[in-house]
């Protein structure tokens, strides 16, 4: 009997904590993992929200944003202008293209790097702005879900839509009308009543 008791105590000792700790060696505790994931997400959202807490909308920022918006339309309209120029004056267009053909290859590589870095940086800035908007939207999800739940309750409540459900509203009104307990005021009233 002593040997079996020792084996059972070894496996299930301390109210089953022995088996639990042995199992956690081979498999992660799902509850603890969920808690860690939730804390990590909360910290990441707080850090992300802190990065974009202050809006940058001064005069200088607006001017730079305006300048950042110019290259793409300029490139698009410039390309369309080249097509129009080729149709209007083919000789003029051909002479300009001969000049472009003389541009050395390293200069083309440099132009490609500059354009790709510009559009890459612009893409990253817009991507971060999009992520900020997504994080703001995600932060409002609990409130939206609460509102949807209340709307569904009003729809499926007694009488459906249009029927007044006086239960919670009446209780709220009574809570507003009834004064809160104020010990100092009650003591003052007792003293005033005794003085009469």
Distance of CA 7 to the CA centre of its chain: 52
The pLDDT value given to residue 169: 65
- The verdict on pTM exceeding 0.75 is no
Q: What is the mean pLDDT of residues 14-39?
A: 74
Contact 52, 132 (CB under 8 A): yes
pLDDT digits (tens, 9 = 90+) for 78-106: 999 999 999 998 888 888 888 888 888 88
The pLDDT value given to residue 116: 81
CA separation for the pair 3, 83 (Å, rounded): 94
pLDDT digits (tens, 9 = 90+) for 130-182: 777 877 777 777 887 888 888 887 776 655 555 555 556 666 666 666 667 77
Q: State the greatest distance between any 2 C-alpha atoms of the chain, in Å, as a whole number.
A: 113
- Mean pLDDT lowest for which of 52-61, 118-127, 154-163? 154-163
Q: What is the mean pLDDT of residues 9-27?
A: 66
List the domain boundaries for the chain: 1-46, 64-129
């Amino acid at each position: 009997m002593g040997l079996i008791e020792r084996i059972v105590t070894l496996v299930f000792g301390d109210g089953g904590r022995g088996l639990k700790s042995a199992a956690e060696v081979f498999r992660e505790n799902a509850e603890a993992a969920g808690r860690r994931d939730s804390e990590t997400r909360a910290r990441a959202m707080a850090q992300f929200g802190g990065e974009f807490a202050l809006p940058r909308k001064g005069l200088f920022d607006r001017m730079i944003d305006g300048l950042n918006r110019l290259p793409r339309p300029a490139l698009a309209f410039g390309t369309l202008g080249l097509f129009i120029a080729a149709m209007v004056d083919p000789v003029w267009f051909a002479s300009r293209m001969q000049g472009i053909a003389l541009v050395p290859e390293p200069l083309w590589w440099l132009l490609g790097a500059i354009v790709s870095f510009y559009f890459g940086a612009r893409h990253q800035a817009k991507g971060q702005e999009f992520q900020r908007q997504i994080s703001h939207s995600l932060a409002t999800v609990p409130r939206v879900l609460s509102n949807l739940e209340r709307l569904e309750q009003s729809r499926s409540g007694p009488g459906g839509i249009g029927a007044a459900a006086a239960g919670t509203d009446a209780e709220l009104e009574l809570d507003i009308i009834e004064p809160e307990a104020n010990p100092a005021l009650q003591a003052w009233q007792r003293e005033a009543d005794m003085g009469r």
